[in-house]
Amino acid sequence: MKKIVVIVSLLSTLFANQAFATTCKAAVSLLTEGTAAPCSGWLFDEDTAKEASNLKLQYPILQEEFNTVKEQVTELKGELADEKAISEDQKQKAKLWQDRAVDITEKYVAVENSRGTRDALFYGAGIVTMLLLIFAESQAQQRR
């Protein structure tokens, strides 16, 4: 990515320069030492000229790659936003399930705690009933 930025910056600097915007109508020709240049501007050595030409040829390809990467970044940002929304929704659902589990557990504990009291009452009622039956039976035998 850094390479693309450097190349794009270099190309924009090279091709935005006023020397390239000249109105010189001379054909491209090889200059030899001592010959006058047909137009004003920059004079490059052969290697630099080839490099500038290659950069000019690579610029549309690099621009397309840059645009593709930019689109991918935009898509990934959208996907990230979607994932955040899904994550938030999952957190809310987990919270609801947790609250429900706590509520059910508290109700179960309350039932278990009241079970001991209820059982004690039933045992007490059973004992009272048995005592009443024994008392009634003894009263019945005394009358006979």
Q: What is the pLDDT of residues 68-107, one digit of tens each?
A: 999 999 999 999 999 999 999 999 999 999 999 999 999 9
Rounded (5°) CA angle 98-102-104:
115
> Which of 51, 52, 65 is CA-nearest to residue 15?
52
Q: pTM to 2 decimals?
A: 0.40
Note whether 89 and 48 are within 8 A (CB): no
Q: What is the pLDDT of residues 45-65, one digit of tens each?
A: 778 888 888 888 999 999 999
CA distances from 10 to 104, 134, 138, 142 (A): 68, 112, 118, 124
Q: What is the mean pLDDT of residues 4-33?
A: 62
Task: Report residue 19's pLDDT band, with 50, 70 and 90 as the boundaries.
Answer: very low
| CA 133 – CA 128 distance, rounded (Å) | 9
Residue 13: what pLDDT?
58
